[in-house]
Structure 1
Amino acid sequence: MSNDSAASHSSSESNTSRWGDPVVLGVSIGFIVLFVAMSLYDIDMVANGISAGFAWTARTLGSFFQLLLLLTFFIGIGLAMTPAANARVGNRHTPEISTFKWLSIIMCTLLAGGGVFFAAGEPVYHFVVTPPAFDSEAGSAEAVAGALAQSFMHWGFLAWAVLGSLTAVVLAHSHYVKGQPLRPRTLLYPVLGESVMRGWLGGLVDALCVIAVVAGTVGPIGFLATQVSFGLHELFGFSQGYATQLVVLGVLGAVYVTSAVTGIQRGIQFLSRFNVFLALAIAVAIFLLGPTLFLTNAYLQGFGEYLSSFFTMATMTTETAPAWWMQWWTVFFFAWFIGYGPLMAIFVARISRGRTIRQMILAVAVMAPIATTIWFTLLGGSGIFYQMNGMIDLGEALNNFQFDVATLTVAQALPGGTFMALAILLLTTIFVATTGDSMSYAIAVVGTGHDDPNPFIRAFWGVAMALMAAILLYMGSGQISVLQQFIVITAIPVSLVLLPSLWTGPQAAYAMAREQGLLLQPKENKEHARS
């Protein structure tokens, strides 16, 4: 960039940083207000409209979402194996954040409340209702491997790869080398150039990505309130009503807003590190005190089945599986992760300065998914063991999608009963808080175009999501499930934002490698070939 354009860019960024992008703020806040207002006016109309859009999107674009995740993962892994992957992010020779802290933030931000919320219930659900990819008898010993494998498919390699592998490479090059802001629109910069960085189009792209993340984050925040209030009712006899849920939301909001305001180096890092230690302690306790041999065998069989049936599960469509099953499981989860994709990539690019591209891709697309499969086996595998042995019965609850009941029921069946249930409720709460703080930070980054946004803007988005969850809970928990259906619809524009990274990701990696002297420039290649 020339000095003049750099000064212009800096001035523009400064103004935007202070006040926020009017298009991003207008469209995203307008959506929140409109959604709540329309719901207050006619809940059924909103629910029916979104339900119809959800069904159409899942039926029509489900295969596209699946293909996008498949290509992202395999191209990302292929890129990690090339010499270009030795390039470092952010023009630093040493990492900005220690390896343990870095991995902790990635795990807590991306696995977060969704993974913890579903970790106990989803494997048990697939155990009592055999997934379409398998033909084992539901509830039998043969059904264990398929149940875990299906859960691994939804929360494994494909899910994580779309959250911050190729897209994080594109953002790292565009931001740290080209000087572009950390915003979703920057993912389109290699294709559309400066035209997308200025004006309404870029603002609209950013706003649509913010809406997808708000929709995806408010759901877990609201579900956590119902889960914790249910837990407090079961364990201590507290009221399970709206007042208790409101108190839970208030405490949760205070925690993650404080964390977001203090920033990556303090609050977000501290919360993530504490959560990892707590998760490790719970994992060790479950493994040693629970059905150890069963869990070990179940993991080996489940992961083996995951690998051997990988393409069968990943490419299943409504032609080969019931439409309702695809809508509410594979397509829903994949759309949810797509919706998070751009802002998660911003976060990964921001915390990975000094890391090589290979380290970044392998941490996000390989190491984190494997850790996730272990966690799902410990909680969900224990649930399967207790269900199979008649110690619990979650069949009816899970058929009604009551996953908050599943988590607490499995926790109470574990050794230590009440203590383990409290520990897992605390863990779930902090996991959701780490999602809240990182997304408040990332949304503020998008709105301001600056990777150190004003603390008040971070706090605003954190409070806004908590308030939206509170309003939806007041209107009825069904509205949060409506919002989650809306996630699938928001994945449509976001998927188009992610799509170019399939080729711009490798291009950006090779450009970084050449700029850092790790690969020969094209002209040098020709001279080298002649000699």
Structure 2
Amino acid sequence: MNSPQDKAPASGLGKFGDPVVLGLSGGFVILFVLLSLVNIEGVEGAISVGFAWTAAVLGSYFQLLLLLTFFIAIGLAISPAASAKVGGLESPELSTFKWLSIIMCTLLAGGGVFFAAGEPVYHFVVTPPAFDSEAGTVEAIAGALAQSFMHWGFLAWAVLGSLTAIVLAYWHYDRGLPLQPRTLLYPVLGERLMRSWLGGVVDACCVIAVVAGTVGPIGFLATQVSFGLHELFGLSSGYATQLVILVVLGALYVTSAATGIHRGIQLLSRINVFLALAIAAVIFIFGPTLFLTNAYLQGFGEYISSFFTMATMTSETAPDWWMQWWTVFFFAWFIGYGPLMAIFVARISRGRTIRQMILAVAVMAPIATTVWFTLLGGAGIHYQLTGVIDLAEALNNFQFDVATLTVAQALPGGTLMALAILLLTTIFVATTGDSMSYAIAVVCTGHDRPHTAVRIFWGITMSLMAAILLYMGAGQISVLQQFIVITAIPVSLVLLPSLWLGPQAAYAMAREQGLTTRKKVMTHE
């Protein structure tokens, strides 16, 4: 068996990475910032047009890709091949708690915490198109939670690290190919892709999607925390405060990424999990316990019974703006993260079985996410319903930073809870920053022990980009988030072959470990 750690990367990369990947991805960052400085309106207009076209024309394709990924992964999890172990290790590198902590914190990340309070309340005050209940009534609660579960549940998580992680794990650990997105296409396009400029373009597209997807939460966190500090302590919420927050956040996750998975990344994830569990316990015990319990049961039941109705909603049955800014936007965001998250999942899952990896990512983590959304968002719905807060106007203007803080202050503990949730959101975004800095460095260098300087470079780059865009105006980060939907087009094509290559890779692993005698069908071996 080849050992990628001892072998030179297959694509002939230097110490600091593939010049094509570095040039294209770094060039994108510079070009986006320069064009924004020269002609902000022009950049906004072009991306807005591309965003609307992508959502309208390819939205159904994105939805179908997520549906197929989830159901094929679940089918694979109950197959004989699922007993195969990832990475050729008899026992896992990480304990189960550490492993699950990293998965939860990296994949749920700041976005999940940022939207957990506001999204369920938004769907409560603006009825989603899949339901016909009257907005703001008791009957609207189940549909509001169900719609949030759809966006952050089984489909979203499955595309982040199930089939793709299996393909990468097999071709990296068993065949010695680099941990890069191009490896997902190797069984289809062969060795030429690994060593050509086209492989660099594939990797760069995936890096750009992740940079766009990560800079958004970093920037929005700065606005959210500065708003929170202003509301709680009267501090200025201006750019200077946001810049200080970015410097502290950047220092936190750059240090974490530099120390690696077994130190910084793992430590941040564990702190985050304990803090999240403490916050969850306080909300459940001292908050509207019976309401939250009933809301979760009804919401999850509605999620299951209306699953296909919500998952297959199109612009024919829902308003264009709603599809663009909700289902298609979120699904495209997760697709954009897909290849690099899969690299991360494959890297931390050595010694785990395929079944454990799929169930952790595509089943257990989504269920934990629905509980978290019910605690924060369900509490928000309760306070909205009883008149304690009124978020209708703020949420109709998509002011989710206001929603998070307002719900937090209404929770038991008031100001202390608000501070705890702001801290939690900060660490969640930091875990995204450090894991993505690490994953991008892996892509650039082609192996899973990237040079520390490369990790630091990408961590600093994302913070700087967020700082520049915030200086131009928070609207530029919104533009960058719209760009995420456009980047999902090439990335989806990288993910697509995993629908059949995932099961093939699993059976190849199982066959080599003596667990199945299924006929060999892999190509380019």
TMscore range, shorter length: over 0.9
Deviation at residue 2 of structure 1 after TM alignment: 9.8
Secondary structure of the equivalent of 2:315? coil
Mapped contact 1:164–1:345 kept (Cα < 8 A): yes
TM-score when normalising by structure 1: 0.96
2:368 matched to 1:368?
Answer: no
Deviation at residue 522 of structure 1 after TM alignment: 3.4
Deviation at residue 474 of structure 1 after TM alignment: 0.1
Following the alignment from structure 2 to structure 1, what is the Cα–Cα distance between the partners of residues 252 and 16?
A: 25
Matched with 1:413 is: 410
Aligned pair partner of 2:49 in 52, 71, 90: 52
- Number of residue pairs matched? 520
Deviation at residue 195 of structure 1 after TM alignment: 1.4
Structure 1, residues 243-289: CA drift from partner, whole Å, max 9, x if none? 00000000000000000000000000000001000000000000001
Q: Which amino acid aligns with 1:278?
A: L
Mapped contact 1:13–1:450 kept (Cα < 8 A): no
Secondary structure of the equivalent of 2:421? helix
Matched with 1:528 is: none
Matched with 1:527 is: none
Following the alignment from structure 1 to structure 2, what is the Cα–Cα distance between the partners of residues 521 and 396?
A: 59
Following the alignment from structure 1 to structure 2, what is the Cα–Cα distance between the partners of residues 261 and 283?
A: 30
Aligned pair partner of 2:506 in 506, 509, 519: 509
Q: Spell out the pairing of 1:239-278 with structure 2 (5 A cutoff).
A: 239-278=236-275
Q: Which amino acid aligns with 2:311?
A: A
Following the alignment from structure 1 to structure 2, what is the Cα–Cα distance between the partners of residues 113 and 142?
A: 30
Structure 1, residues 440-474: CA drift from partner, whole Å, max 9, x if none? 00000000001000111100000000000000000
Matched with 1:529 is: none
2:383 matched to 1:379?
Answer: no
Q: Spell out the pairing of 1:275-294 with structure 2 (5 A cutoff).
A: 275-294=272-291
Mapped contact 1:17–1:450 kept (Cα < 8 A): no
Q: Which amino acid aligns with 1:174?
A: W
Following the alignment from structure 1 to structure 2, what is the Cα–Cα distance between the partners of residues 26 and 60?
A: 30
Deviation at residue 10 of structure 1 after TM alignment: 3.6
2:120 matched to 1:100?
Answer: no
Deviation at residue 511 of structure 1 after TM alignment: 0.4
Aligned pair partner of 1:322 in 302, 313, 319: 319
Mapped contact 1:259–1:267 kept (Cα < 8 A): yes
Q: Which runs of 5+ in 1 are unaligned?
A: 524-531
Following the alignment from structure 1 to structure 2, what is the Cα–Cα distance between the partners of residues 510 and 172?
A: 13
Secondary structure of the equivalent of 2:227? helix
Aligned pair partner of 1:236 in 233, 238, 256: 233
Deviation at residue 12 of structure 1 after TM alignment: 5.1
Following the alignment from structure 1 to structure 2, what is the Cα–Cα distance between the partners of residues 139 and 112?
A: 29
Q: Spell out the pairing of 1:34-433 with structure 2 (5 A cutoff).
A: 34-433=31-430
Q: Which amino acid aligns with 1:88?
A: K
Mapped contact 1:17–1:454 kept (Cα < 8 A): no
Q: Which runs of 5+ in 2 are unaligned?
A: 521-525
Mapped contact 1:17–1:449 kept (Cα < 8 A): no
Following the alignment from structure 1 to structure 2, what is the Cα–Cα distance between the partners of residues 189 and 245?
A: 43
Deviation at residue 152 of structure 1 after TM alignment: 0.1
Following the alignment from structure 1 to structure 2, what is the Cα–Cα distance between the partners of residues 520 and 42?
A: 61
Following the alignment from structure 1 to structure 2, what is the Cα–Cα distance between the partners of residues 16 and 428?
A: 36
Mapped contact 1:13–1:448 kept (Cα < 8 A): no
Aligned pair partner of 1:465 in 462, 466, 482: 462
Following the alignment from structure 1 to structure 2, what is the Cα–Cα distance between the partners of residues 406 and 455?
A: 38
Q: Which amino acid aligns with 2:142?
A: A
Structure 1, residues 122-142: CA drift from partner, whole Å, max 9, x if none? 000000000000000000000
The percentage of aligned residue pairs carrying the same residue is 82
Q: Which amino acid aligns with 1:387?
A: Q
Following the alignment from structure 1 to structure 2, what is the Cα–Cα distance between the partners of residues 129 and 307?
A: 21
Structure 1, residues 75-97: CA drift from partner, whole Å, max 9, x if none? 00000000000000000010010
Secondary structure of the equivalent of 2:15? helix
Following the alignment from structure 1 to structure 2, what is the Cα–Cα distance between the partners of residues 11 and 520?
A: 32
Mapped contact 1:170–1:187 kept (Cα < 8 A): yes
Following the alignment from structure 1 to structure 2, what is the Cα–Cα distance between the partners of residues 239 and 140?
A: 37
Following the alignment from structure 1 to structure 2, what is the Cα–Cα distance between the partners of residues 11 and 425?
A: 43
Mapped contact 1:17–1:453 kept (Cα < 8 A): no
Deviation at residue 15 of structure 1 after TM alignment: 5.9
Q: Which amino acid aligns with 1:267?
A: G
TM-score when normalising by structure 2: 0.98
- Cα distance change on mapping 1:335 and 1:184 into 2, 3 Å: same
Following the alignment from structure 2 to structure 1, what is the Cα–Cα distance between the partners of residues 486 and 402?
A: 28
Structure 1, residues 195-235: CA drift from partner, whole Å, max 9, x if none? 11111010000000000000000000000000000000000
Following the alignment from structure 2 to structure 1, what is the Cα–Cα distance between the partners of residues 499 and 7?
A: 30
Q: Which amino acid aligns with 1:437?
A: D
Q: Which amino acid aligns with 1:338?
A: I
Deviation at residue 342 of structure 1 after TM alignment: 0.1
Q: Which amino acid aligns with 2:13?
A: T
Mapped contact 1:163–1:337 kept (Cα < 8 A): yes
Which stretches of structure 1, 4 residues or more, deviate above 6 A after TM superposition?
none
Aligned pair partner of 2:486 in 481, 485, 489: 489
Mapped contact 1:225–1:249 kept (Cα < 8 A): yes
Deviation at residue 109 of structure 1 after TM alignment: 0.1
Deviation at residue 345 of structure 1 after TM alignment: 0.1
- Cα distance change on mapping 1:307 and 1:12 into 2, 3 Å: closer
Matched with 1:453 is: 450
RMSD (Å) for aligned C-alpha atoms = 1.4
